[in-house]
Amino acid sequence: MNWKSWPYWVRGALIGCVCFIIPITLLWLPLGEKTSLWVFLIFIFSLVPSSIVSEFLLGPGGEGIPLFGITTLDIAGGIIFYAIVGAIIGYLYGKIKDHKK
């Protein structure tokens, strides 16, 4: 089963997960002195939604295993959040594309 035969919502979920994982890995790379803007943008677009999802799943005060200042539950929450967002976008894209045919 190749990529082109996958449903659009699965493709969107996978792309959403990759769009979360790449910025998180960039947090651990030494990027030089001008990283404050990058860290801020990664924090806003990656860690805030993942923190909200992990708080929703565990309740307030839920702890995970700290990994370079980010808990593993924040990472899991971010993957879940961006997979759902990507799946919704992929589903809508598939519906729009089917109507154009």
Given the DSSP bridges, would you call strands 70-71 and 66-67 parallel, antiparallel or unpaired? antiparallel
Look at residue 11 and tell me whether its pLDDT is greater than 70: yes
The C-alpha atoms of residue 69 and residue 46 are separated, in whole angstroms, by 14
Q: What is the pLDDT of residues 29-51, one digit of tens each?
A: 666 655 667 677 776 777 677 76
* Domain edges within the chain: 7-100
Condensed to tens digits (0 to 9), the pLDDT of residues 56-96 reads 666 665 565 555 556 677 777 778 888 999 999 999 999 99
pTM for the structure as a whole: 0.71
